[in-house]
Copies of this chain bind each other. A is one copy, B any other.
């Protein structure tokens, strides 16, 4: 059977727009000879609609569009698309379903059985678990249709399996000719290998090929990387759709393919592309146009500016450098070099006078010289105010917050200062990964000036200040943070896993716990790791657990 992998980029809640994309792909796929078109999970509503579906009319609209706009167009070539269905019995209000259409009508509805409710996923908030299903008979084949998490039962993020049933095995036991998975599987570094391994295992176990169609594009924090796959019954990837782009591929389940034609992507390349797409879609889907970034002369803001140039084009990026007496000479010079390389606009704005004026005001009105911490926090807040003034000055601007994950984890950032912005672009990228990304960007020639990469990290908020005055070296810090955040290890377990002293480990964990209130006020971060802040990792502010 010729199956079209329709890897589209829907917008959440834009059912009419998404339906138009679906019908466009359907028509194109049919011309390419497809006998069945497969679209991603919740392709019609966008994923995740979150509490939008507290509005029952969203689900009614989606059903109406399926029945009156999509199904009537479907003839000779089946169309399988994810959308939401009402649950008419007691239990959660909806099903997360795959609608199978042909000959102008719905011929089958398959409900998702395993509902991920961990990390960024909240599906049990909305959906009732589907009952075990049977294969769908279509054009002489038995199709093992299921949805995203249904194939992930054996890949629990915890030490135990989160679900009792295995929907794919249940289909396999009944006899299928091909497995088909509709996914909205968000990107995380290294995760795509898991997808392949899961497909390969089931394909080999039941000796049938496996098609998975994933969504692509970013919605809020989640980036979907596409990379839809056709895996042979031997478990090899025969065909893979593009990463981080829409794609339409028709595969012939009877044909032989050369597995060597599959493009390989390094982890760091995928992280970079995820960040670019995350920003690009945030701007585009919010009807915005241009990006504003405060440049410190350091690595983080340089990385953000580079990503922004790729995401919205250099003409739509404005950088502002705002030195004080504490700023090194390099802070402006290196920013200048960077902006020339990137071809983006740079505004220089010395904040020395405003800063001094503020300090005088504080001294006069509070009756004492401000503390060192007060003075340090004051500078980023003045900068944040200027960046917001510029951003507010023209519609269509968005300010990007440049903090990295190591800083955000430890609270080494000023709230309402360097955290200002509508998107924390690299808030899920550790500092050590920031350098890795810089090397990746410069792989074919210098884009980010080497001087920026080589300089010792400093907030430049007082003379001769370096990050290592307050924090352990980033290699040590990131190792501890990864064990604590991604690894979910206890302090006791971490002591035995790192060479750093117990006091260092305790200090780092204490910083993480005490800065939760700051993270609650961050803009959305683009998720690229297995455990992004706030979205995936929902810790209370008020607690006494160490």
Contacts and interface: CB of A to CB of B under 8 A. Distances in A.
A542 B122 contact: no
Contact of A545 (B14, B220, B347): B14
Interface string A511-539: 00000010011111000000000000111
A370 B396 CA distance: 16
Given A122-B122, A365-B347, A523-B517, A51 B539 contact: yes
Nearest to A10: B544
Contact of A540 (B49, B163, B361, B490): B49
A393 B366 contact: yes
A415 to B, nearest CB: 8
Nearest to A57: B490
Interface centre among A125, A159, A416, A492 (most CB of B within 10 A): A416
Given A163-B90, A163-B91, A354-B357, A390 B416 contact: no
Contacts of A14: 543-545
A68 to B, nearest CB: 18
A448 interface: no
A440 interface: no
A10 to B, nearest CB: 10
Given A384-B416, A393-B366, A540-B48, A545 B488 contact: no
A422 B516 CA distance: 10
Contacts of A446: none
A90 B166 CA distance: 11
A256 interface: no
B542 A416 contact: no
A542 B384 contact: no
Given A374-B389, A377-B392, A416-B388, A540 B349 contact: no
Interface in A181-228: 218-220
Contacts of A218: 542
Chain A residues touching B, majority SS? loop
Contacts of A524: 520, 541
Interface stretch (A99-107, A280-288, A471-479): A280-288
Highest count of chain B CB atoms <10 Å: which of A93, A365, A368, A538: A365
A160 B90 contact: yes
A442 interface: no
A195 to B, nearest CB: 22
A91 B164 contact: yes
A538 B56 CA distance: 15
Contacts of A12: 540, 542-545
A55 interface: yes
A92 B122 CA distance: 14
Contact of A354 (B17, B281, B354, B537): B354
Interface centre among A125, A365, A389, A420 (most CB of B within 10 A): A389
A500 interface: no
A361 B353 contact: yes
Given A46-B543, A52-B539, A349 B371 contact: no
Interface string A338-366: 00000000011111011001100110011
A219 B162 contact: no
A540 B90 contact: no
Contacts of A492: 57
A381 interface: yes
B523 A520 contact: yes
A354 B386 CA distance: 13
A58 interface: yes
Contact of A92 (B162, B357, B371): B162
From A55, A162, A163, residue with most partner B Cβ within 10 Å: A55
Given A48-B540, A164-B91, A354-B354, A366 B385 contact: no
A22 B350 CA distance: 59
28 contacts: A11-B542, A12-B540, A13-B540, A14-B545, A17-B544, A50-B539, A51-B537, A54-B488, A55-B490, A56-B159, A90-B163, A93-B162, A117-B117, A118-B125, A124-B124, A285-B543, A347-B366, A348-B365, A349-B361, A349-B365, A357-B357, A370-B389, A371-B393, A374-B393, A378-B385, A381-B384, A416-B416, A521-B523
Interchain residue pairs A-B with the least CB separation, the first 7:
A13-B545, A14-B544, A124-B124, A13-B543, A12-B543, A349-B365, A416-B416
